[in-house]
Amino acid sequence: MTVKSLFFAFAAAFVLMSSPASAAEHYVNGIDANYPPFALVDKTGKPTGFDVDSMNWIAKKMGFTVEHRPMDWDGIIPSLLAKQIDMVCSGMSISPERKARVNFSEPYWNIRKYFLVQKGSALTKDELLKGKKKLGVQAGTNEAELLKQQAEKQGWNYELRFYESPPLAIEDLINGRIDGAAIDSAPADEAMNKGKKPIKVVGEFAEPDDFGVAVRKEDNALLEKINKGYALLKNDPYWEELKAKYINVK
Amino acid sequence: MQESILTICEAMPWILEGALITIGTVAAAMLLGLFLGVPMAIGQIYGNAATRGVIALYVWFFRGVPILVLLYLFYFGLVYQLNPLEFSLFGMQCSISLALSPFAASCIVLGLTSAAYQSQIFRGAINSLPSGQLKAARALGMRDFEAIASIILPQALRLSIPGWSNEYSILLKDSALVSVLGAMELMARTKAVATSTAEYTAFYVSAALLYFLITWIGLRGLRYAEKNFRIPGYSHL
Amino acid sequence: MNEATQQTPVLEARNIGKSLGGRPILSDLSLSVYKGEMKVLIGPSGAGKSTFLQCLNHLITPDTGELLLNGERISPANKGELRSLRERVGMIFQDFNLFDHLTAQENVSIALVKVKKMSRRDASLRAMMELERVGLSRRAGLYPAELSGGQKQRVAIARALAMDPEVILLDEPTSALDPELVGEVLAAIRELARGGMTMIMATHQMDFARALATEILFMEKGAIIERGAPASLLAPGAKTRTQAFFARLVAEESAC
C-alpha cells in the first residue's frame, strides 16, 4: 500500500456529509454475532438467526430496509446512542438499567434461565448452588450479574467462570472444566436439540427474561413500526416456522 | 477433520476480509504513530520546557490509559458529543455530521497511542547518538532543523527499527480490541464464525496462523528495511 | 605583534569568560590571530583549552567577552550572524565527529549543499577535490566505520576545508589516535600551514608546536599564564612553565 493511497483512504474516512435524507427508510440493526440461535453469522459471514430473520420479515412487511451489522456486544448500546446503528434486535433482555437509556419494543420472546449439567451427572440444582461448584455464565449478561449478587445474599458458594458466549460455556461443561452452566434457555435448547450435546437441565433460576428490540429514545416512529411488525409476525405461520428452524420448541 | 477444513475454506473469504481490516488498522496506526512520534521525540529533546511538558503529559496519558478506554472515550465520547456539529454561517443554519467510520476511528486511536510509544523509541535512539554529531553539524553552520533532519534523524531512525518491530507486534495484538467500535477485524470475525459453527479449535488455530503470518511478513519487511538501509560497520548498540 | 598592528586580526577574542555551576572555567581570555598565523594552545587537560576553542565559534556560549571576525563584532543573539561565524570558522574535533551514516564524500559535501546551497553535483566534485588534497580520494565511498582513525581525521579536515574557512580551530586533533596514525594527520595540518591557512590549535604535540607555532599560549585553570614565540618559551634552559610542562611530557612518554 503506498503512502498516497493510504492518505486517500483517510481523507475518505473524514468526508463531511450532510444529514442523511430519508429516501427509502433504511435502518441498521446491530447484532451480537455470538448469540445463537438469535443472532449469529453463517460460515460465510452472513448474519442470520431467529432475530435477524424476524427483522427481515418485519422490514419487508412494514416497508423499510434493514441491514444487520455484527459488532462487539460491549459496544452495542454506545453505538446505538452514537447513531452508528438504529436498533438492537439481538436477544437483548429488557432491564431497568437499559430502559433508562433506550426504549424497548414489546417483548417478543420470553426466555428462561437454565441450570445445565452433564447428561450423566447426578448433580442437583441445590448442589450446584451450595456445593462449592464451578458454574459457567456468559460475561456481561443479566444472569451473570444476578448470580453474583444472589450468591452473597443467599449464601451460595459457587465459583463463577465467565464465558464470551453460551456455546463456549457448554463446551467447557462437556469437557468437565466446569460442573454446571447457568445460561438462557434459547442457546441451551439449541445445543440440546439441534447440537445433540450431552447435557441436561436440572432447574431454573430467576424470573423469566423478556427480549425486546432496543431503539433510541427519540425514535418513536421506528419503535411503532417494530411493534406493529411483531404483532403481524406472531399471527403469521412464518413465526412457527422460525421457531422450528432456530429454537426447536416442541 | 475433513469437515472442519471444508468449513474453514467456506468461511475464509469473510475472515480474510477481517484480516485486511486488521492489517490496514495496524499499518495506518504505525504510520500515524511515526509521523507524530518523530516530531514528539524531537520536541521532547530539543524543545523548550513548555513543549517538553506538553509532550511528556501526552505520553504519560496515552501510556497510562488502556486502549479500550481510549476507544470508548474517543469514539462514543468525544466524536459523538460533538455530532452533529451545528453552527450558523452568514446567517444560514448549518448542520454537518462527521462520518467517522469505526475503521478510521480505530486507526486514529491506535495511531495516537502508538505515537506515544514510538516517540519514546525515537527519543531513546536520538539520545544514544554521540553528542558530537549535532556539534559537528552546527560547527559547519547548519541550522538546527537541518542538522536534525539530515544528520540526527537518518541515524536515529535506523537505530529505531528493532524497537519498531516490537511496536508492530504489540499493535497487531491491540488491533483485536477495535471490534468494540464495530470494526469486525480478524479476531471478531473468527469468534463469530467459531460460535456459529462450533468449530472452536479449528477457527482459533486458523486465526493464530493468520496472526503469525501477518507478524512474520511485517517483521520480514522491517528486517529487509534494516538490511537495505544498513551502513557498513555502523552501530551504537 | 607589533609589526602587524596595522592589519586586522582574522579572529579576535576579547576577555572571554565562562563559569559552570558557579565555578569559573575560563577567565578573561583574549587572543588575536592574524592571517597565516598558527596559535597553539597547550596546557594540562582540564585547563579549558577545548572550552575556549568552542567559545570561539559559539558552540559554547561564553558568559562574557566578545568575538570579532575580520574586525566585525559578532552579536551572538543574531542566529544568522552566528551561523555565518560558524560557516567561516572551521573546526576539527578530538574525536572526529564524522557523520556516521554518510560516506567520506558525503561528509564533505553535505554542508556545501545544506549551508552553501551548492548543487549536489558541484558539491560532490568539490568534496572529491578536498579528499584528494588530504590523500583520500580513493576512499571517498567508504563510511566512517570503515576508515582508520587517521583517515577519519583527514576526512574531517577535508570537510572543514571545503567550506573555505578563514580560520580553522583544531581541538587536539591527534590525541584520540594510535601513535602510528598521528604522523599522517600532522602532515596534513603541516600542509595547511604551508598553504597559509590561519589556525588555532590545542595540542600536546610539542615538537609540532615548536616547529610551526607563531605563538604558544600556555593555559592552566582557565587562564593564559604564559604566551610567546616557541623560540623564547622553549629555549634550552628557559625557566618557563611551558618548558617545565614540555619536560614532564617527554619524561612521561619515555616512561611508557
- Mean pLDDT value across residues A107-132: 89
> Which chains lie within 8 Å of chain A at 3 or more CB pairs, if any?
B
How many other β-carbons are positioned within 10 Å of the β-carbon of residue C105? 23
Alpha carbons A160 and A181: distance in angstroms, whole number = 9
Domains of chain B plus CATH, in order, are: 20-84+99-186 (1.10.3720.10)
Q: Please report, for chain A, the start and end positions of each structural domain, with discontinuous segments joined by +.
A: 25-110+211-247, 113-207
Least confident of B38-42, B228-232, C86-90, C106-110: B228-232
Alpha carbons A216 and A218: distance in angstroms, whole number = 6
**If pLDDT is split at 50, 70 and 90, which confidence band does B86 have?**
low
User: Between 3.10.250.10, 3.40.50.170, 3.30.365.10, 3.40.190.10, what CATH number should domain A113-207 receive?
Assistant: 3.40.190.10
Q: CB-based contact (8 Å) between C115 and chain B?
A: yes
A25-110+211-247 has which CATH code?
3.40.190.10
Q: Report CB contact under 8 Å: C145, B139.
A: no
Print the domain residue range for C226. 2-255
Alpha carbons B71 and B65: distance in angstroms, whole number = 10
Residue A172 has what pLDDT?
A: 92
Minimal Cα–Cα distance from B156 to chain C, Å?
10
DSSP assignment of chain B: -HHHHHHHHHHHHHHHHHHHHHHHHHHHHHHHHHHHHHHHHHHHHHS-HHHHHHHHHHHHHHHHS-HHHHHIIIIIIIIHHS-SEEEEETTEEEEEEE---HHHHHHHHHHHHHHHHHHHHHHHHHHHS-THHHHHHHHTT--HHHHIIIIIHHHHHHHHHHHHHHHHHHHHHHGGGGGGGT---HHHHHHHHHHHH--HHHHHHHHHHHHHHHHHHHHHHHHHHHHHT--TT----
Q: CB-based contact (8 Å) between B122 and chain A?
A: no
Nearest to C93 among B136, B146, B151 (CB): B136
What 8-state DSSP symbol labels residue C73? E
What 8-state DSSP symbol labels residue A86? S
**A71 alpha carbon, distance to own chain's centre:** 12
Least confident of A112-121, B79-88, B189-198: B79-88
Cβ pair B191, A32 in contact under 8 A? no
Residue A9 has what pLDDT?
A: 43
pLDDT for A20 beyond 70: no
Q: Report CB contact under 8 Å: C87, B140.
A: yes
- Domain of residue C164, CATH code: 3.40.50.300
Alpha carbons C109 and C103: distance in angstroms, whole number = 10
Least confident of A15-29, A211-225, B26-40: A15-29
- ipTM for this model: 0.91
User: Which chain B residue has its CA at the smallest distance from C58's CA?
Assistant: B139
Tally of residues, chain B: 237
- Would the CATH topology of A25-110+211-247 be identical to that of A113-207? yes
A95-115 pLDDT tens trace: 888 999 999 999 999 888 899
pTM of the model: 0.80
Q: Per CB distance under 8 Å, which residues of B are interface residues toward C?
A: 130, 132-133, 135-143, 146, 150-151, 154-155, 158, 231-234
Alpha carbons A208 and C99: distance in angstroms, whole number = 76
User: Which chain C residue has its CA at the smallest distance from B146's CA?
Assistant: C114
Q: CB-based contact (8 Å) between C87 and chain B?
A: yes
Q: Exposed (0-12), middle (13-18) or buried (19+): which is B205, by Cβ within 10 Å?
A: middle
